[in-house]
Structure 1
Amino acid sequence: MLRNAGSRITVVILTHNRAERLRETLERLRALPERPQIIVADNASTDGTVCMADLSYPDVRIVQCGSNMGAAGRNCAVAHINTEYVAFCDDDTWWEPGSLAQAVRVLDATPRVGVLNARILVGAPGETDPTCLVMRHSPLDSRGLPGPSLVGYMAGASVFRTSLFRETGGYDARLFIGGEEELLALDVLARGHAISYCDALTVVHHPSPARDSALRRRVLARNAAWIAWLRLPVGEALIRTLHAFVAFRRERTLLRDGWQMLRGLEWAVRERRRVPRHVLSMLREVRRHARRQDFVSSSPGTSTLPSRTKETTARRLADNGDIAASSAFFPRHLKNRVYQCRRRDGL
């Protein structure tokens, strides 16, 4: 069964300038009993990554992206595979023995599931990633699924139906890296597929040294706003845009990053396709559950009401149509587009 599974699933590794990390990951993956096909998506590395992989691992296919495309580099690799399923990992993560075979069994048995998210063990101690603990306790209806139903997933620990990945278009290059899974997850759910957490699948993650966390925070804030304009209600998009401006101001990059975000809104609004109501209902249920958990876990004597009240007020402003106040920072032509979005949303 393990060998048969290996012929039906391909592992795609995304890498950029981490040759030695990639070497360890390749050693682990090539030793798997499933013997899956392996493709490395190289995001224009300049440290000899491609040369190392070519010389040391002739059985591994290297797809060179030509430029650093961020998460969209995975799309280049998927274009070259011919298996039903594709498992993703990064150059500092690898799949544990038996997990890929289990993924094939689960996806064969549950056609409704489009994406599986594995359990992630972090570092030498092998502690479960905190995000996985949250996923285990998802409040969504999981009947008929192999595990908890999700509204998102982690790119480096996921298994997709290859046909679904291609149908959605994969990752958007304009988001680069940072929250890119959210947009793809929304498109998966909008097509009627489920995303499920599966404890029986295991990925090991040995995190690389921390990179520029300030830059990452700004990119995450920008991408969150763009994704909201692409797929979510206008009220949510306005709130995320305001939050992004606050983040840019905190990092002292308001002018540069704010202008870049506003320029991107032209594209986001032009390609806007709001998700169906059932997806919005799932998102709201997850949000309500998270708020309840935050309230329960707050320390004695510490009220969570002030911050929650501020957020609720902001959402009411945006949802109830006070666009003049909430989009005052938009150029005139963007304001007009916001009004058009609200009319299309029936608001």
Structure 2
Amino acid sequence: MADNAPGQPRVTAIIVVFNGERYLREAVDSIIGQSLTDWELLVVDDGSTDQSAAIIRDYEQRLPGKVRLLSHHDNRNHGISASRNRGLAEACGAYVAFLDADDTWLPEKLSEQVSIMESDPALGMIYGRTLIWYSWDETDDRADFLYPLGVEPDARYDPPALLERLLQNEVQTPTTCNALVRSSLFATLGGFQNSFRLMFEDQTFFAKALAFAPVYVSDRIWAKYRQHAQSCSAVSARAGADEAARIAFLKWLNGTMADQGASFRIRSIVWKVLAHETWQANKRNIKRRLQR
């Protein structure tokens, strides 16, 4: 059984919102609609100037003790990582689950994930399939789809098997809207890296989890990942910033694995991927300059 104290929730759900009023109610309602009701919801307002805070205050009044609005000490924007860490500092649940303000959970997510986690106390994290969700927009003719998991589903993987395959782009990246994490793992490994404000901010924790903890990968679909032009990933792709963001992440990971006392095997895997991708990026940059 999970080690939450009497009177504390089984799961802490954390939403970070920055000017997300358009989709926020739908995200919150998908948590309220969970078949497992033993949860608390912490919504971290990352300096919004729209009606996001007012929306959550309404939920606070309707669900006292279940929903709480948090903010940074200066009420300014600090980025996704710092905001997730702000929520973690207040979390009381034995498990933590994240949901972006524009995504949704399916009703059985928490119930099914908690059941699997409690059947194996050694598990640090669980994740499954995430629906890449276009059909929310009736004007978009693109079809919803699922990325391949890249591994046999419904199985436990001991470290560092998933990290190695993730760095080689052979497995689906865990998504924050899909994962459930044992709270004690954050206490052991630390949370998210504040300097990563947007892209790869989630991987600064997931990579540590895959390197050091047993992880269960499921074939179940537990979340819908909304696709729209204002999302962080869409903005980064349009700006051509994805490659630089990945190199920055790999450099960070290379140092972090050494600091965390990772095995020689893990550190060599990270270093080889960093060296290869840096070399490839430099080749592309030289080619682009010569073509000007």
> When the two structures are superposed, what TM-score results if normalisation uses the length of structure 2?
0.70
Distance 1:48 1:112, change over 3 A: same
Instruction: Tell me how far 1:53 sits from its aligned partner.
Output: 1.4
Instruction: Please point out which of 6, 20, 23 is paired with 1:21.
Output: 23
Instruction: Tell me how far 1:272 sits from its aligned partner.
Output: 5.5
- Which of structure 1's runs of 4+ aligned residues deviate more than 6 A? 281-285
1:175·1:223 contact (CA, 8 Å) conserved in 2? Answer: no
In the alignment, the residues of structure 2 paired with residue 111 and residue 200 of structure 1 have an alpha-carbon distance, to the nearest angstrom, of 20
Q: Which amino acid aligns with 2:249?
A: I
Instruction: Tell me how far 1:282 sits from its aligned partner.
Output: 7.0
**Which ranges in structure 1 are unaligned for 5 or more consecutive residues?**
233-267, 288-310, 319-347
In the alignment, the residues of structure 1 paired with residue 245 and residue 145 of structure 2 have an alpha-carbon distance, to the nearest angstrom, of 27
Q: Which amino acid aligns with 1:277?
A: F
Distance 1:69 1:168, change over 3 A: farther
Instruction: Tell me how far 1:159 sits from its aligned partner.
Output: 1.0
**Which ranges in structure 2 are unaligned for 5 or more consecutive residues?**
1-5, 137-142, 164-172, 283-292
Instruction: Please point out which of 39, 43, 61 is paired with 2:46.
Output: 43
Instruction: Please point out which of 264, 273, 285 is paired with 1:277.
Output: 264
Q: Which amino acid aligns with 1:203?
A: A
Instruction: Tell me how far 1:42 sits from its aligned partner.
Output: 1.5
1:198-347 equivalent positions in 2, closer than 5 A: 198-210=218-230, 211-213=234-236, 217-218=240-241, 220-232=242-254, 275-280=262-267, 314=279
Root-mean-square deviation (CA), in Å?
3.6
In the alignment, the residues of structure 1 paired with residue 155 and residue 58 of structure 2 have an alpha-carbon distance, to the nearest angstrom, of 48
The share of aligned pairs that are identical, in percent, is 20
In the alignment, the residues of structure 1 paired with residue 131 and residue 175 of structure 2 have an alpha-carbon distance, to the nearest angstrom, of 13
- 2:192 alignment partner, SS class: coil
The equivalent residue for 1:85 is 95
In the alignment, the residues of structure 2 paired with residue 179 and residue 196 of structure 1 have an alpha-carbon distance, to the nearest angstrom, of 21
Distance 1:201 1:157, change over 3 A: same
- 1:186 alignment partner, SS class: helix
The equivalent residue for 1:68 is 77
2:156·2:216 contact (CA, 8 Å) conserved in 1? Answer: no
Structure number having the greater helix percentage: 1
Instruction: Tell me how far 1:216 sits from its aligned partner.
Output: 5.6
Q: How many residues align?
A: 243
The equivalent residue for 1:165 is 186
1:114·1:160 contact (CA, 8 Å) conserved in 2? Answer: yes
1:116 aligns with 2:129: no
What is the CA deviation profile of residues 62-100 of structure 1, one whole-angstrom value per residue up to 9, with x for unaligned ones? 111333222221111111121110111101112211220
In the alignment, the residues of structure 2 paired with residue 49 and residue 34 of structure 1 have an alpha-carbon distance, to the nearest angstrom, of 25
The equivalent residue for 2:287 is none
Distance 1:231 1:277, change over 3 A: same
